Homo-oligomer: A and B are copies of this chain.
Amino acid sequence: MTNSDFEPLNPGDTIGIIGGGQLGRMLAMAAAKLGLKTIILEPGKDCPASEVAVQTICAPYDDPAALKELVKSCKVITWEFENIPLDAVNFLKENTLLRPNPLALEKSQDRLTEKQFINDLGIATAPYYRVDTIEDIKQGLDRFGSDAILKTRRFGYDGKGQSRLSKQAKSADISAAFDALGRNPSILEGFVTFSREISIIVGRSTNGDIRCYDPAENAHTNGILHTSTLPANITPETRNAAVRIAEKIVTALDYIGVMGVEFFVTPTGDLIVNEIAPRVHNSGHWTEAACAASQFEQHVRAVSGWPLADPTRHSDCVMENLIGDDVNKMPQLLTLPDVSIHLYGKAESRAGRKMGHFTQLSS
C-alpha cells in the first residue's frame, strides 16, 4: 500500500514493531508516552520489549499467521532491526503500511548493495571489492595496497561476521578468514585512515521534512559502540556536510522514520560513510536524556504520520553502553549526579551483550 492511502495515527492507535530487543523496547516506551499502543513480533521468549508493549506475538518474523495477526491489529508496522526476512517484508508491503520504506532494507541488508547505493549518490565510502572467492580477496588486497577488512555481505552487526587482513596476508590467513565467514558472499573493505567516528540520527516525516540530531562522536571497543559524546569534536563545516549527506540518503530512499548514518572523519575533515542503519540506532540513545524528544519518539512520530520533533539538545552529554558485566556497575551508577540510566530488562548478562546504557549530562 502507499503512504497516501493513510491518515495520520490517532492517540490510542496501535503500531506493530518487528523485533523485541532493546530498540523495540525503547520504541514501545516512546509510543506509550505519546498515548499509542504497540504490538511486538519476536520469536524469542520473554524479550525485552514484551514487558512494555500491549501485546507480544511470539513467532518467527516470517510466520504467515503471525504477520496476518499483526497486520489486522496495527495501523502501521515498523521494525527495530534491518535483517527482516524478505518474505515478511514483501507480505507486509502488500498488505499494510510498512514504514520506513522497505527499499531501505533492500539497500542495507547487503553491504555491497548499500555501498553501491551510497556511491551512486556521490557520497564517499571506504573502497570495497566484491568477494565470492579466495581469488577475489587477493585481488582486492592487491588493488587497495592497504590492510583491509573482510565482511559478510549480509547479517553482520557489532563487529560480527568480520575479519581483519593485513596487506601482506598469506594465502593460509586469507583462506582461514574466508572460512570463518562460512565462505559466504562478502566484501573486502580497504582500511580508511580516520581521525574520529561520528554518526547522525536523521528523521524524515511523511511530508518530507527532515530533522537531524547533533552528530555524536563515537568510540568502539571490540567492534561494539562504547561511548557517544556530544558535541562531537568536529568543525561546523564537517557537521553541515554530515547533515547534508544524511538528508540526501533519506530523501533518495523516500524514507519515513529515523535512520542512523555512521561516518569516518578523515584527518583532512572529509567524510566517508561507514554504514547506514535504517532504524533507531545505539549512537542515538543519548537523545533520550539530552533532548525534549528522543530518537525513539522521533521514529514513532514519523511512522505515525505526525510532525517531527525539534531535535535541539538541551545539554552536552556522554552516553556509555553497559556491555555484559558492565551492568554490575549499576550500584555505583545510581550514586552519580546528572546521570540517566536505562537498563533493558535482560535477565542474563553475557559477554558482548548490550544490557543497558547511561547518559551523563553536563551543561
| A337 neighbours in B (Cβ, 8 Å) | 292, 310, 312
| Residues 291 to 340 of chain A near chain B (Cβ within 8 Å) | 292-293, 301, 306-307, 309-310, 312, 314-315, 327, 330-331, 334-340
Of A31-39, A262-270, A272-280, the one touching chain B: A31-39
What's the Cα separation between A363 and B361 when bound, in Å? Answer: 15
Range of interface residues on A (Cβ < 8 Å): 35 or more
Would you call the interface of chain A mostly helix, strand, loop, or mixed?
Answer: loop
Is A247 engaged at the interface, CB distance under 8 Å to the other chain? Answer: no
Q: Does A192 contact B (CB under 8 A)?
A: no
Q: Are A314 and B363 in contact (CB under 8 A)?
A: yes
* Contact indicator A32/B34 (Cβ below 8 Å): no
Q: Is the CB of B29 within 8 A of A51?
A: no
Give CA–CA (A27, B306) in the complex, Å. 27
Given contact pairs A34-B341, A309-B334, A314-B314, enumerate 19 new A-B contacts (beta carbons under 8 Å). Answer: A11-B327, A11-B330, A11-B343, A11-B345, A25-B32, A29-B52, A32-B51, A33-B343, A37-B345, A292-B337, A292-B359, A293-B340, A307-B334, A310-B339, A312-B337, A312-B338, A314-B338, A314-B361, A314-B363
A343 with B307: CB separation less than 8 A:
no
B345 A12 Cβ-Cβ under 8 A: yes
Number of copies: 2
The 7 tightest CB contacts between A and B, nearest first, are A35-B343, A310-B337, A292-B340, A307-B334, A52-B52, A292-B338, A307-B335
Which A16-52 residues have C-beta < 8 A from chain B?
25, 29, 32-37, 51-52
* Interchain CA distance A315-B346 in the complex, whole Å: 32
Q: Is A344 an interface residue (CB 8 A)?
A: yes
Residues on B with C-beta less than 8 A from A210 are none
- What is the CB-to-nearest-CB distance from A35 to chain B, in angstroms, rounded to a whole number? 3
| Sample of 9 A–B contacts (CB below 8 Å) | A12-B345, A29-B52, A32-B51, A32-B52, A33-B343, A35-B343, A35-B344, A292-B338, A307-B334
**Interchain nearest-CB distance for A142 vs B (Å):** 50
Distance between Cα atoms of A306 and B54 in the complex (Å): 28
**Cα distance A356–B312 when bound, in Å?**
23
Interface residue? A342 (CB, 8 A): yes
Contact between A342 and B11, CB atoms less than 8 A apart:
no
Bound together, the chains give a CA A307 to CA B335 distance in angstroms of 6
Residue of B nearest to A341 (CB): B34
**Residue numbers in B under 8 Å from A344 (CB-CB):** 35
In the complex, A104 has a CB within 8 A of chain B: no
The CA of A347 and the CA of B309, in the complex, are separated in Å by 24
Residues in B whose Cβ lies below 8 Å from that of A51:
32, 37, 54
For the complex, give the distance between the alpha carbons of A337 and B330 in Å.
33
Does chain B have a CB within 8 A of A289? yes
